[in-house]
Amino acid sequence: MSKYYFAVASKKFLLEEEPIEEVLRERTNYYSMIDKPIDFWLILNPQFLNKPELLSLQNKIKKPVAAIVSTNPVFINWIKLRVGYVFTGQVEELLFDNILAESR
Q: What is the pTM of this model?
A: 0.92
Range of the domain at 95: 2-100
Strand 65-70 versus strand 40-44 pairing type? antiparallel
Q: How confident is the model at residue 99 (pLDDT cuts 50, 70, 90)?
A: confident
Segment 33-89, tens digit of pLDDT: 999 999 999 999 999 999 999 988 988 999 999 999 999 999 999 999 999 899 999
Number of domains comprising the chain: 1
First to last CA, the chain: 25
Q: Looking at residue 58, what is its pLDDT? A: 84
More confident residue, 96 or 53: 53
Give the C-alpha distances (Å, rounded to integers) separating 1 from 20, 32, 44, 57, 96.
29, 27, 23, 22, 10
Question: CATH code at 23?
Answer: 3.30.70.1860
The residues, ordered by sequence, that sit 6+ positions from 85 with a Cβ below 8 Å of its Cβ are: 9, 13
